[in-house]
Amino acid sequence: VSIAKKDLTESVRRAGELLDILEKQIDAGFKDQESIQPGDPRLVVLHGMCSNPKGALTRFLTTLGGPAVPAMAPAGVAIAAPATAAIDFGASVVPPPAAPKPPDAGEGVSFSFDEFLTSVGMAMLNAQRQLDERSSDYLKESQQQPHVLPAIFRVPKLSASMKFAFEKRDDKKMNLVFYSAGSQQSTQHQQEIEFDIVSAPAPAEAMAELRQKSPRVDLILDPKQRDTIIAAARGAKLSKPTSKLPDDFEAGRCLLIALSAAAQYLMIYADTKQDGNVGMWRLTAGEPDRLEVIYRFDKKSADAEVSFQVLVNELADRQRDFLDSLRA
């Protein structure tokens, strides 16, 4: 398959159209589904269509002038749910002009090899993102319908095969050149590449590295360490009278974060009864322990503070449940 840059762009656009058709098919299936009761054989039809949209793809490819879609990618290729879609770009990037075009003078379009691979990869990625959005909608809609299988849709594999010419760059690397004129193509497109881009589970090491590198705040969850810090806070010397902890302070719901300075901790606590009561303190452990208020718990504040209170309470509830599970 030989493509010029404009054709590649066009192919990406058409891949998007391809997915639009797939979405419309799925939408049509959803509409049908509203009238379907559990056990209705049409459910099978719907699922079959999702997992094998060959008819729509074939029709679409026919309009492109390309060959029919080959067999579906084998099951087990990084498919997160039973429904899959396979798009073989090797078939679909054929750039048949809809209307006769004037003959090209034979100017080639040049890509670096890595740039070219990346472009094709991005096309697949964009297609997948469209599918992800639709999957999300589908999951939301299917939550209310217990007889519908929850599913997400993945493009499991992209296979490409193309011919091109080589052109040497100044830095001695090779560029891939695609000619669109017939004679140039036949005489100069003598190099060939086939490649697969697959949707595969992320490597465990990659996930671990990602988690390690991603910014986050760790709450102190060790019960013993927490008990020590809370006890210190309760008996600490207050910087001001208003620095004291609330009377009905519930230790298990206080968020504790170690600060970068040694023996210093951030304490965040929110009221569950009265809107707007949320406080923040800094505890410095030492002789004596010192508790300083950063934000007063009972300070009258704007309504916006309630949002922060809600966030703290959500975290606090989950933390309390977690700590309870450790004690159990």
Instruction: Rule CB under 8 A: say whether 172 interacts with another protein.
Output: yes
Rounded to whole angstroms, the Cα distance separating 1 from 189 reads 10
Task: Write out the two tokens for 92.
Answer: 């679909």
CB 323 within 8 A of CB 282: no
Least Å distance between CB 216 and another protein? 11
Instruction: Rule CB under 8 A: say whether 195 interacts with another protein.
Output: yes
Residue 98: phi and psi, rounded to 5, are -70, -35
Least Å distance between CB 69 and another protein? 20
Give me the DSSP letters along 41-67.
Answer: THHHHHHHHHH-THHHHHHHHHHHTPP
Least Å distance between CB 80 and another protein? 6
Rounded to whole angstroms, the Cα distance separating 303 from 301 reads 7
Site string for another protein, 44-83 (x = CB under 8 A): ----------------------------------x-x---
Compare residues 83 and 293 and give the one whose CB is closer to another protein: 83
Compare residues 186 and 242 and give the one whose CB is closer to another protein: 186
Site for another protein in 99-118 (CB under 8 A): 112-118
Instruction: Rule CB under 8 A: say whether 124 interacts with another protein.
Output: yes
Compare residues 192 and 248 and give the one whose CB is closer to another protein: 192
Choices 171-179, 243-251, 285-293, 295-303 (CB under 8 A): range interacting with another protein: 171-179
Compare residues 34 and 205 and give the one whose CB is closer to another protein: 205
Q: Which of 200, 257, 259, 294 binds another protein (CB under 8 A)?
A: 200
Is the Cα torsion angle 16, 17, 20, 22 positive or negative in sign?
Answer: negative
Site for another protein in 206-225 (CB under 8 A): 206-210, 214
- Is it true that the peptide bond before 70 is cis, omega within 30 degrees of 0? no
Q: Which of 44, 99, 105, 202 binds another protein (CB under 8 A)?
A: 202
Give me the DSSP letters along 263-297.
Answer: TEEEEEEE-SSSTT-EEEEEEE-SSS-EEEEEE-T
Least Å distance between CB 308 and another protein? 23
- 315, 318, 319, 323: CA torsion to nearest 10: 180
Q: Which of 20, 132, 275, 324 binds another protein (CB under 8 A)?
A: 132
What are 157's strand-pairing partners? 198
What value, to the nearest 5°, has the Cα angle with vertex 79 and ends 74 and 81? 120
Rounded to whole angstroms, the Cα distance separating 86 from 55 reads 12
Residue 104: phi and psi, rounded to 5, are -75, 145
Site string for another protein, 254-273 (x = CB under 8 A): --------------------
Choices 50-58, 60-68, 166-174, 275-283 (CB under 8 A): range interacting with another protein: 166-174
Is the Cα torsion angle 241, 246, 248, 252 positive or negative in sign?
Answer: negative
Task: Write out the two tokens for 125.
Answer: 């990625």
Compare residues 27 and 209 and give the one whose CB is closer to another protein: 209
Q: Which of 137, 196, 222, 227 binds another protein (CB under 8 A)?
A: 196
Owner of token pair 């309009």: 63
CB 312 within 8 A of CB 250: no
Compare residues 200 and 310 and give the one whose CB is closer to another protein: 200
Least Å distance between CB 257 and another protein? 22
For binding to another protein (CB under 8 A), which residues are involved? 78, 80, 112-118, 121-122, 124-125, 128-129, 132, 154, 165-166, 168, 172-174, 186-188, 190-210, 214
